[in-house]
Chain A
């Protein structure tokens, strides 16, 4: 049972425009959410996170929004750059308190120059 879902396997965006990646979760016990970025032949790299007590967290071009009532989060990248082209994974933790992560299946972002 997939507790974290990324329903869009791929997304293409023009350079300079906004990229919006979406993620839904089903487990209301999750209280910490993260986005990871993955290039081919590399491990996932941490991008940005948000605690469930917040609804927004911003870091440079990256902003994560959390809507707890809808069990939905999104990652906004503005402006998008060709180097942002990668697979983005949404992850959540909190169920066990042991900090292991539950991952979505990823969204492949392609930023077109």
Chain B
């Protein structure tokens, strides 16, 4: 158990809908990262937050947004969903940012299926 929790585990929805994925980082970790893993692909970095502020952006679509709250949990919002958004979404956390050697701890992921 990495200490990172993600809810829900599974989500099935229809095209055009909006969903929210939730992540609680390990106790004491200030950085939260979101990754997307599509079928047979590696994990693709979406976005990072550090202590409530956006720190880095990857290949995140404009239809996707995220935020980190004062209690450090984070939410990833996916809107106008398309079939191609079906994927595993992982959240990871680490103690700080910008310092090499910071191991990222991953949650179990949320499997999103768009029908």
Q: Do residues B108 and A45 form an inter-chain contact, with CB atoms below 8 A?
A: no
Residues of A within 8 A of B (CB): 2, 4, 6, 31-32, 34, 36, 41-46, 49, 51, 89, 91, 93-94, 96-106
Cβ contact within 8 Å between A100 and B58: yes
Which residues of the partner chain A approach B90 to less than 8 Å between Cβ atoms?
43-44
Is chain A's interface secondary structure helix, strand, loop, or mixed overall?
loop
Number of A-B pairs, beta carbon distance below 8 Å? 73
Does B42 lie at the interface of the complex (its beta carbon under 8 Å from any beta carbon of A)?
A: yes
B101: contacting residue among A41, A51, A97, A105, CB under 8 A: A51
Given contacts A46-B105, A51-B101, 16 further A-B contacts (CB under 8 A): A2-B42, A32-B100, A42-B108, A43-B106, A45-B2, A45-B106, A46-B104, A91-B43, A98-B55, A98-B98, A100-B45, A100-B56, A101-B43, A101-B104, A103-B35, A106-B42
Residues in B lying within 8 Å of A, measured CB to CB: 2, 4, 31, 33, 35, 40-45, 48, 55-56, 58, 90, 92, 94, 97-109
Q: Could you write out 18 A-B pairs with CB less than 8 Å apart?
A: A2-B42, A6-B42, A36-B106, A42-B109, A43-B92, A43-B106, A43-B108, A51-B101, A89-B42, A91-B43, A93-B100, A96-B56, A98-B55, A98-B97, A98-B98, A99-B94, A99-B97, A104-B42
Q: Which residues of A contact B102 (CB under 8 A)?
A: 99
Point out the residue from B2, B40, B100 that lies within 8 Å of A99, measured CB to CB: B100
For A89, the chain B residues whose CB sits under 8 A away are 42-43
Residue numbers in B under 8 Å from A45 (CB-CB): 2, 106
